[in-house]
């Protein structure tokens, strides 16, 4: 779990996009609800942008240096799987 | 009111009577005057039997929707024989509007109290001995209202004759000409000759300051301006003096009208008594092209219409938006437009070795910037977006500098370490219109009257209507509603957070408490600690519930909300102090002393304001009146500006300049159209793409934000806006705003 405190090493920005009410976004919403506080406490300098918009597919985007971005759709992913995706992203 | 409509209605009684009654003697139609037409009373007394009038169904005036809050309380009235259902308590005039009949009026205004003194709205009501003033008469069940009978028409003609008796009839030199209620209605109800042979009265003009021009002889004493000043602007200066023909509107003692909303009296004046001073004799309203856009001088995003002729903006008028500005705008919004043609940057310029600027071509300017940006290290590049920037240009700037390897892109006004994570942490969650539901306000470090005049008008409206309590923490301020000054600094905030302050119980007992935090606090070193204290107060006072979110941040600038949404968060707070390359995109309010002497400064913007003095290269950009751009206001509502006038000189849209520069610098951005840039924004902050919508937030900062170990410093809260009239590059360039700050600011 130590990698969670090391997000700032490679990542410059983390973005969660989801819909406020759709069932497709429910896993992303609960992920943010359960883990945002911990992630932010461990990485106080990392912007974790949580953006909601009606009808948006749940997505996770990360930004590295030099404006390189990677994204993944979160629909149907469990909390475990989202963490795994995030870990992959953090490794570069 | 449309002229044609009035004229057609004035003609209708005769025409409809001809159609409704079949000719008695088999004649096709009667030509000439009949006794009943010569005396209108007689024809009315004849009583229209009207068994079942075949009227086409009518729609409410201007397509308004009628909301019946309580269907049992609805009553039915008949307007010209047509039945309408209206809620109890509506006036006869409102019932007529629901039935699609526009009643002529001068004194009645639906956002002001009812005066009933112009008598223009007289209608006939069955079983009433004389015509009634419809604006002041409550509609009763079964009432039969007749709006186009000869009696009503004759009554209005009489009123009109009296009004015109003392009116100067100087329409050819009057600025209201063409949009004057008196002019329009005299076309329908005025006589073609006068019976008045005496001398017209004249009234001395009043000096109401640099914004409102008065020609008091034209005044018809409708008292709309007096009611507006007392009820909405909250200044008790205007009043009615004298009686009879000596009656006049004035301030009694020579006094300027010092309200930030004073320009609205120009709009509500039905005649040419109060007109715009800067617009005087500039144009006729039919020569102007109107462009519906939004205002960027504060974070409210008031809906406006820019009236222009050719390349020049001639005036700015409000547009109706019930959720944001109703139908008012602040004086800064209305009169800042002359700043759009002063101090403009029209050519790309490079500062030569002698320290003077030299106009160059776009090619040369971009080539130079593209060359310099590669000579510095990525972490030495800093970008600052200005307070008037639109979302598209901020997105382009952030993408460009990110691609150059810099992570230090910020927006002025958001402080050194903004927290952009949760939208609920920096927008007005209640919404501007939602503030009307609040019953207790706690203003922390904010003076809404100067920071966002329209929000202040909303708070005042609520305080007036429901006697909501207002607590205020900050320096002593000049507020136009009753408020309790709780303290001047963070000390009081700590007391409130710990529950030691008497105001805590008020907050706890409130049904819908609203906390409004000023964005001036973003700039404080201890902002995290301050916001965490405010969140504690919100938690203790039960301010955030599933059905009510009373935690609000009142932003100061038009660009702020969108900048935070797009994540313009600098990686290191003091990056500007060690920068070698600074890109200022319309940023004029940063501390220029922070920029090192050897740094290369690019200024992209529309006005030669403060930052130009430090710039090495100037790239001219278009102002808000000249471009299409997305802005997010303080409540999170997305709106777009539209170009009203062409750009000045060789200036270009902000995002296009950044896009061109990215290509010169070798890191070409993957979009080259507004559509492309918006789809890019869609992957960063999708809410910025849904125009005219407010996306509600899911999570509240009160529960989600991690604890901070910052300490609150004892320094008192400051004033975020020192001079209401001059806050940005446009208003600082405006001559009218300079006059206002010289004459109207309270020193």
pLDDT tens digits, residue range B467-516? 999 999 999 998 999 999 999 999 999 999 999 999 999 999 999 999 99
Give one DSSP letter per residue of B618-630, joined into a string: EEEB--GGGS-EE
- Chain B residues within 8 A of A8 when measuring between CB atoms: none
Least confident range of B323-337, B445-459, B706-720: B706-720
Q: What span, in angstroms and rounded, lies between the C-alpha atoms of B521 and B497?
A: 17
Contact list, B391 vs chain A (CB under 8 Å): none
Which residues of chain B lie closer than 8 angstroms to A33, CB-CB? 699, 704
Provide the shortest C-alpha distance from residue A28 to chain B (in Å). Answer: 12
What does the pLDDT look like over B50-69, one tens digit per residue? 455 555 667 888 787 877 87
pLDDT of residue B72 exceeding 90, the answer is: no
- Domains annotated for chain A, with CATH where assigned, are 2-91 (3.40.30.10)
Spatial CB neighbours of B715, under 8 Å, sequence gap ≥ 6: B489, B490, B524
Residue in chain A closest to B422 (alpha carbons) equals: A50
Tell me the pLDDT tens digit for each residue of B218-237.
999 999 999 999 999 999 88
Please write down the long-range contacts of B361-370, taking CB distance under 8 Å and 24 or more positions apart: B362/B650, B362/B652, B362/B660, B365/B617, B365/B618, B365/B619, B366/B619, B366/B660, B366/B661, B366/B664, B367/B664, B368/B617, B369/B602, B369/B617, B369/B619, B369/B661, B369/B664, B369/B665, B370/B661, B370/B664, B370/B665, B370/B666
Q: Is the pLDDT of residue B645 over 70?
A: yes
From chain A residues 2-31, the ones with a CB under 8 A of any chain B CB are 12-13, 15, 17-18, 20, 29
Question: Cα distance from B523 to chain A (closest Cα, Å)?
Answer: 17
pLDDT tens per residue across span A54-75: 999 999 999 999 999 999 999 9
Other Cβ atoms less than 10 A from the Cβ of B361: the count is: 11
Give the C-alpha separation, A69 to A62, whole Å: 6
Reported as a pLDDT band with limits 50, 70 and 90, residue B746 is low
Q: How far, CA to CA in Å, does B692 sit from each of B326, B623, B668?
A: 15, 21, 31
Contact pairs from chain A to chain B, CB under 8 Å: 87
Q: What is the pLDDT of residue B212?
A: 95
CA torsion through residues B151, B153, B158, B159, sign: positive
Question: Which residue of B421, B532, B563 to mutate against A (max A Cβ within 10 Å)?
Answer: B421
Q: The tokens 């909501």 sit on which residue?
A: B468
Of residues B584, B401, B573, B660, the one with CA closest to residue A66: B401
Q: What are the distances in angstroms from CA B702 to CA A35, B102, B419?
A: 15, 49, 13
Its CATH class, for the domain covering B58-165, is alpha beta
Per-residue tokens: A90: 């953090």
Domain with CATH 3.10.20.740 in chain B: 58-165
Q: Mean pLDDT score of chain A, rounded to an integer? A: 91
pLDDT at B368 over 80: yes
Chain B interface with A: residues with Cβ < 8 Å: 378, 399, 402-405, 407, 420-423, 565, 567, 569, 571, 667, 683-687, 689-690, 693, 695-699, 704-707
Chain-chain contact of A50 with B421 (C-beta, under 8 angstroms): yes
How far, in Å, CA of B475 to CA of B472, rounded? 9
CA neighbor of B579 nearest in space, from B412, B409, B356: B409
Q: Between these two residues, B700 and B463, which has the higher pLDDT value?
A: B463
Q: Which fold has domain B428-541?
A: Dimethylsulfoxide Reductase; domain 2 (3.40.228)
Chain segment B1-44, per-residue pLDDT in tens: 444 444 445 444 444 444 444 444 444 444 444 444 455 454 44
Task: Answer whether A34 touches B (CB < 8 Å).
Answer: no
The pLDDT of residue B641 is above 70: yes
Question: Could you give the angle at the alpha carbon of B134 between the alpha carbons of B129 and B136, nearest 5°?
Answer: 105
Distance CA B122, CA B154 (A): 10
Question: Which pLDDT value is given to residue A7?
Answer: 87
Query: Is residue B307 a contact partner of residue B317, using CB atoms and an 8 Å limit?
Result: yes
Residue numbers of A between 36 and 65 with CB closer than 8 Å to B: 36-37, 40-41, 44-45, 47-54, 56, 59, 61, 63, 65
Q: Do B706 and A52 touch (CB under 8 A)?
A: no
pLDDT at B56: 64
Spatial separation of the C-alpha atoms in residues A10 and A15, rounded to whole Å: 15
CATH ID of B349-414+560-688, from 3.30.43.10, 3.30.70.1520, 3.40.50.740, 3.30.2320.30: 3.40.50.740
* φ, ψ (nearest 5 deg) of residue B86: -135, 155
Size of chain A, expressed as the number of residues it contains? 92
Identify how many contiguous H helices and E strands chain A contains and give both numbers: 3, 4
pLDDT tens digits along B116-145: 999 999 999 999 999 999 999 999 999 999
Contact at CB, A52 and B423, closer than 8 angstroms: yes
The answer to whether the CB of B412 falls within 8 A of the CB of B563 is no
| pLDDT at site B39 | 52
| Predicted local confidence at residue B20, as pLDDT | 45
| CA angle, B193 then B196 then B38, to 5° | 50
For A42, the token pair is 């461990």
How far is CA B163 from each of CA B119, B157, B196, B409, B709, rounded to the nearest angstrom? 10, 10, 11, 62, 70
Which residue, among B418, B686, B701, would best test binding to A if mutated, counting the most A CBs under 10 Å from its CB?
B686
């Amino acid at each position: 779990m130590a990698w969670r405190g090391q997000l700032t090493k490679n990542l410059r920005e983390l973005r969660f996009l989801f819909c406020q009410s759709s069932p497709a976004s429910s896993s992303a919403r609960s992920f943010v609800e359960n883990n945002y506080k911990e992630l932010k406490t461990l990485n106080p300098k990392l912007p974790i942008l949580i953006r909601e918009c009606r009808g948006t597919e749940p997505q996770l985007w990360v930004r590295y240096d030099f404006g390189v971005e990677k994204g993944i759709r979160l629909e149907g992913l469990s909390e475990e799987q989202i963490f795994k995706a995030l870990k992959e992203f953090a490794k570069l | 009111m449309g002229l044609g409509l009035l004229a057609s209605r004035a003609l209708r009684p005769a025409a409809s009577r001809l159609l409704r009654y079949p000719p008695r003697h088999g004649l096709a139609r009667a030509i000439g005057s009949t006794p009943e037409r010569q005396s209108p009373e007689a024809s009315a007394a004849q009583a229209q039997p009207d068994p079942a009038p075949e009227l086409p169904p009518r729609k409410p005036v201007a397509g308004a929707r009628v909301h019946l809050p309580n269907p049992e309380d609805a009553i039915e009235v008949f307007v010209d024989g047509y039945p309408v259902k209206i809620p109890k308590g509506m006036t006869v005039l409102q019932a007529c509007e629901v039935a699609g009949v526009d009643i002529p009026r001068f004194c009645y205004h639906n956002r002001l109290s009812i005066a009933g003194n112009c008598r223009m709205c007289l209608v006939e009501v069955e079983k009433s001995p004389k015509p009634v003033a419809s604006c002041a008469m409550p509609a009763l069940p079964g009432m039969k209202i007749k709006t186009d009978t000869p009696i009503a028409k004759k009554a209005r003609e009489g009123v009109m004759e009296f009004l015109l008796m003392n009116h100067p009839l100087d329409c050819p030199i009057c600025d209201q000409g063409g949009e004057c209620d008196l002019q329009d209605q005299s076309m329908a109800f005025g006589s073609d000759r006068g019976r008045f042979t005496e001398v017209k009265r004249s009234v001395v003009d009043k000096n109401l300051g640099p914004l409102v021009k008065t020609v008091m002889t034209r005044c018809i004493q409708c008292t709309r301006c007096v009611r507006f000043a007392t009820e909405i602007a909250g200044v008790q200066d205007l009043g009615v003096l004298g009686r009879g023909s000596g009656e006049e509107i004035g301030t009694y003692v020579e006094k300027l009208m010092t309200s930030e909303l004073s320009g609205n009296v120009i709009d509500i004046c039905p005649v040419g008594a109060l007109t715009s001073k800067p617009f005087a004799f500039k144009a006729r309203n039919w020569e102007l092209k109107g462009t519906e856009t939004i205002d960027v001088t504060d974070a409210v995003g008031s809906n406006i219409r820019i009236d222009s002729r050719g390349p020049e903006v001639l005036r700015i008028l409000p547009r109706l938006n019930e959720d944001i500005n109703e139908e008012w705008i602040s004086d800064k919004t209305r009169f800042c437009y002359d700043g759009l043609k002063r101090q403009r940057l029209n050519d790309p310029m490079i500062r030569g070795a002698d320290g003077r600027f030299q106009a160059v071509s776009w090619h040369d300017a971009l080539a130079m910037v593209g060359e310099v940006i590669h000579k510095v290290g990525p972490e030495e590049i800093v970008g600052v977006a200005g307070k008037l920037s639109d979302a598209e240009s901020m997105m382009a700037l952030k993408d460009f500098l990110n691609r150059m390897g810099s992570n230090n892109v910020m927006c002025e006004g958001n402080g050194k370490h903004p927290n952009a994570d949760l939208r609920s942490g920096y927008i007005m969650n209640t919404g501007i219109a939602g503030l009307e539901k609040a019953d207790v306000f706690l203003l922390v470090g904010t003076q809404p009257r100067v920071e966002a005049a329209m929000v202040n008008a909303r708070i005042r409206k609520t305080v007036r209507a429901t006697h909501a309590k207002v607590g205020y923490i900050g320096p002593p301020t000049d507020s136009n509603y009753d408020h309790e000054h709780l303290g001047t600094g963070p000390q009081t905030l700590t007391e409130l957070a710990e529950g030691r302050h008497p105001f805590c119980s008020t907050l706890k007992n409130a049904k819908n408490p609203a906390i409004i935090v000023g964005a001036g606090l973003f700039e404080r070193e201890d902002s995290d600690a301050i916001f965490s204290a405010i969140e504690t107060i919100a938690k203790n006072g039960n301010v955030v519930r599933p059905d009510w979110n009373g935690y609000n941040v009142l932003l100061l600038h038009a660009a702020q909300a969108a900048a935070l949404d797009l994540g313009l968060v600098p990686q290191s707070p003091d990056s500007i102090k060690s920068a070698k390359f600074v890109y200022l995109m319309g940023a004029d309010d940063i501390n220029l002393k922070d920029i090192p002497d050897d740094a290369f400064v690019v200024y992209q913007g529309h006005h030669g304001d403060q930052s130009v003095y430090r710039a090495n290269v100037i790239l001219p950009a278009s102002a808000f009146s000249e471009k299409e751009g997305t802005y997010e206001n303080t409540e999170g509502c997305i709106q777009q500006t539209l170009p009203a006038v062409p750009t000045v000189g060789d200036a270009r849209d902000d995002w296009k300049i950044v896009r061109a520069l990215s290509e010169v610098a070798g890191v070409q951005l993957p979009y080259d159209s507004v559509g492309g840039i918006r789809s890019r924004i869609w992957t960063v902050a999708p809410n910025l793409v849904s125009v005219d919508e407010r996306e509600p937030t899911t999570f509240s900062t009160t529960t989600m934000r991690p604890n901070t170990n910052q300490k609150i410093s004892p320094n008192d809260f400051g004033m975020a806006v020192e001079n209401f009239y001059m806050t940005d590059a446009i208003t600082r360039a405006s001559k009218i705003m300079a006059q206002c700050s010289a004459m109207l600011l309270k020193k």
